[in-house]
Amino acid sequence: MVGGPGGRRGVGPGIGPGVDPGVDPVSPAADVPLLEASVEVDTPPARVWELVSDLPRMASWSPMVVRTVVLGGQVRLGTHAVNLNRRGLMVWPTRSTVVRFEPERELAFRVAENHMVWSFSLNPLADGTRTHVVQRREPGEGITRLSRTFIGTFLGGQSDFTDDLRAGMRQTLDRLKAEAEAV
């Protein structure tokens, strides 16, 4: 038997010795652009934080998020979530982990399936009654082959999908701003 408890390892077409066929190789980060959008909100960072740190609410702002379920209760560093996403008729699940958590400053989560890191950074403006909110999609170490194939096959290709993500980020921030300022 080659490999560990899982049995065969490093066997099969295109898989060399010592390569775990369960690992999804990553394309370089240079192949995937950093996406960023921002908005100024006429409320203090505490109010904006209350909203962005409530991950299940993301579905009410983002056109691609159908639902987020936080596992284990309160959101904090290391919290895991399961997400259901949609683009047109295509629906797919993802899993994420909170990788940065600084109350009233920054929240970031890494998506397991594609290695992207999504973040919200909050910066107080002037006298602290307004907030500059920046949403980013960071490529991290790059995108997985699974994700690149899924995007190319089912989501119109990387360029079209990236355009949709940019538009979705703008919509997310506009809806977040409206909700934050409605109080």
Please give the Cα distance from 168 to 138 (Å, whole number).
15
Give the C-alpha separation, 107 to 117, whole Å. Answer: 10
Tens of pLDDT along the chain (183 residues) come to 333 333 333 333 333 344 344 445 565 555 688 999 999 999 999 999 999 999 999 999 999 999 999 998 899 999 999 999 999 999 999 999 999 999 999 999 999 999 999 999 999 998 889 999 999 999 877 788 888 899 999 999 989 999 999 999 999 999 999 999 997
Q: Domain coordinates of the chain in residue numbers? A: 36-181
Q: Which CATH class is domain 36-181?
A: alpha beta
The answer to whether residues 102 and 119 touch, using CB atoms and an 8 Å cutoff, is no
Number of residues written out for the chain: 183
The CA R_g of the chain, rounded to the nearest whole Å, is 19
